[in-house]
Structures are given as C-alpha cells and as structure tokens.
Amino acid sequence: MIPVTKPYLPPLSEYQEYLEGIWKRQWLTNNGPLVNELELKVSDYLNVNNFLFMSNGTIALQIAIKALGLKGEIITTPFSYVATTSSIVWEGCKPIFVDIDPKTLNIDPKKIEEAISENTSAILATHVYGNPCDVEAIQKLATKYKLKVIYDGAHAFGVTFKKKSIFCFGDISTVSFHATKLFHTIEGGGVFSCSSELIQTMAYQRNFGHDGPEAFQGLGINGKNSEFHAAMGLVILKKMDSIVAKRKELSEYYDNRLADLGLQKPQINNQTEYNYGYYPVIFSSEEQMLRCIKKLNRSEIFPRRYFHPSLDQLPYVDKAEIPNTESISRRILCLPLYYELSFEEVDLICRLIKSVWDNG
C-alpha cells in the first residue's frame, strides 16, 4: 500500500534516550525542559526570534485570533484545510472568502480590497502547500486598512521568503506539527510572532491564563504540549535537512517522469526556498483525475484530493463566489510523497498515471 503520506519515524533508540531523561526527571508536561529545548531549537533552526510550542495547529490558530482580539469579519482563503475556517467561526468571527490566484493557489491579494468592509478586522491566509502568499501585497493592504494579519503556516515549516523565515511575516504565524506534516511532534503546533507582547499574551493563554499557581493574567485555555511530544520533535529536527533533501529528489523525479503530460503545478514563489512538503498536480479535467485515482487505487496507491471541496461548502458558512477555487479544488490531486517513498514507487505511480493518457 502506498498512502499519500507516511509519518516519519526516527530510529527508536534515539527516542528512547529522551524517554530515559523524562523518567529520571519525572516531569511529563507543563512547560518542561524538553518543551523549552524544542522551542529554542526550532527558533534556531528557522532563524526566528519567538516560538511557542502548543498542542496542535488548530489551537494555535484559535489562540492567535484570541490574542489579537479579532471581532467581526476575517478575510480568508477558501482553499485550505478546514481548521483555517473553523477556527475563525469557533472564535465567534465570520469568514469572508476571497478567491485564490489560479497560479499560486494562495489568496489573491488583488481581490482582497473589494472584500474589506467596516467590520473587517483581519486577514487570515494560508501558505498553501508551503508556497508563500504574496506577503508584501497583503501587508500593504493591512497597513492601509489597519487590519491584523495571521498566516496559517501549517505547511510552511522551513520555507523562506527573501532569505527570511516565512514565519516572520504578518502579526502572527501558526504552524502544525501533526504526524502528517513535514516536521512533526506526533500532535503539535505553535505560534511565531515578532511582537514580544503578543508572545507573552499567547504564552499565558496557552496555560489557562495562569500567572503563578493562584493568579490569572486573563482568559486562557489549555494549549500546552508534553515532554513526549517535544522529544519526538527534538529527534526529528536533527534529521530535517536530509528529510527535505530526499523529498526534493523525489519531487524532481516526479517532475521528470510526468513532464510530457502537461499537468499544471502550483507556481512556487521564486524568492523562496521551498520545503517539498507536498506534490500536488492539477489535471485539465476532474474526469481525467478521477480516472487516474481509480487506476492508482486498484494498485493500492492512495493519493488524496487535498483540498476538496472548497471551504465555503462547509455547512456553517455562507457560500461564496470563488470560481478559481471551485475549478482547481475539483481538479487537484496530491500524489504520495514521504521520506520512505522509493524512486521505484514513484516510477510505478507515474506509469499508472500515464497509462490513463495512453488509453485515451
């Protein structure tokens, strides 16, 4: 069986070393030494100032919205994972969907302005598949209209824009370290911000608002993560360079094998160092894509329609006029990509896809 992704598992012995430390200290959670170490090492690895480790990427989004005190309408992308939209609604705000750019698949900044109303408080955009949004155009609009900017960077670990971590843009960036993501801590995620004030607020918020055992700074929730999750991150962080390198090779191998089919791929920002987190391809028709999926499934290969359907189809939001998203979300497919995937397997996947063309 070849799934769309497989969580990377490091050598067990390396994880066990960390477990022994946890057993010695008997400190399991609540801002323990491994959590602190992970926060420092992630910040170091990405060359950013502030990172707070949290229990997942969804609570990170919710805390980001809460920390900025957002109200009313938040402009967002309909082409993302459900958590981007659900966090907005969960925090009592209204998502306003703006269509994507059909080349980059990120929210189209040219269409944001007409969606801004007197009730707009922020823009929440996703760096889809790790491809940076047009952060400069978005910041210009945010400054002009006094809006906050949050980036859902769940896919964007290790990505840079103009040699800076992509997590340095916007007021707050969030990340997910879920097992299916490029870098993972089994479950996990967190927030980045250049504002030490916001970081301080979010640090309180992820720990019930505690300011000492009996005092509270403000409203909080439980967004903490454990020593066990941090340990997994510390082990995997050491392997990240080789994980990304292998994924790059596999992606280029796919590119080569699929070159003559004329499949469209997202246009990656050229001032970017990319992380090869996903391998999405856009077919010319949904029908052709479905035939490929069927063919692959018969050989126990399971690519994933990611993201489909568009988020304005969720039962708790208003439908939107978003033709590019509608068209692309029907035709886009993420092909298997993970560290252990072999070149032979990529060969097989590409041969099966090609056979759909050959048979008309």
The least distance separating ligand PLP from the CB of residue 34, rounded to whole angstroms, comes to 19
Number of residues that bind ligand PLP (CB under 6 A): 14
Residue whose CB is less far from ligand PLP, 179 or 290:
179
* 59 or 68: CB nearest ligand PLP: 59
* Cα 313 to Cα 81: distance, rounded to the nearest angstrom: 12
Question: Between 312 and 350, whose beta carbon lies closer to ligand PLP?
Answer: 312
Angle at 320 between CA 69 and CA 104, to 5 degrees: 80
The residue among 220, 218, 217, 199 whose CA lies nearest residue 208 is 220
- Which of 2, 83, 244, 335 forms a contact with ligand PLP (CB under 6 A)? 83
Q: Which C-beta is closer to ligand PLP: that of 131 or that of 165? A: 131
266 near ligand PLP, judged by CB under 6 A: no
Can residue 280 be called a binding residue for ligand PLP (CB under 6 A)? no
Question: Which of residues 56 and 193 has its CB atom nearest to ligand PLP in the complex?
Answer: 56
Of 315, 207, 232, residue with least CA distance to 16: 232
Piece in contact with ligand PLP (CB under 6 A), picked from 9-17, 52-60, 138-146, 222-230: 52-60
Binding mask 142-181 for ligand PLP (x = CB under 6 A): ----------x-xx--------------------x-x---
State the DSSP H helix or E strand holding residue 217, giving kind and residue range, or none if neither.
none
Distances (CA, A) of 218 to 30, 209, 338: 18, 5, 42
Check residue 80 for interaction with ligand PLP (CB under 6 A).
yes
Residue 149 CB, nearest approach to ligand PLP (Å): 16
Reported as type and span, the H/E element at residue 112 is: helix 109-112
CB of 304 to ligand PLP, least distance (A): 12
What does the alpha-carbon distance between residue 344 and residue 34 come to, in Å, rounded to a whole number?
38
Long-range contacts, stretch 87-92, CB < 8 angstroms, 24+ apart? 87/58, 87/61, 87/62, 87/124, 88/124, 89/316, 89/317, 90/62, 91/62, 91/65, 91/66
Which residue ranges make up the site for ligand PLP (CB under 6 A)?
56-58, 80-81, 83-84, 126, 152, 154-155, 176, 178, 189
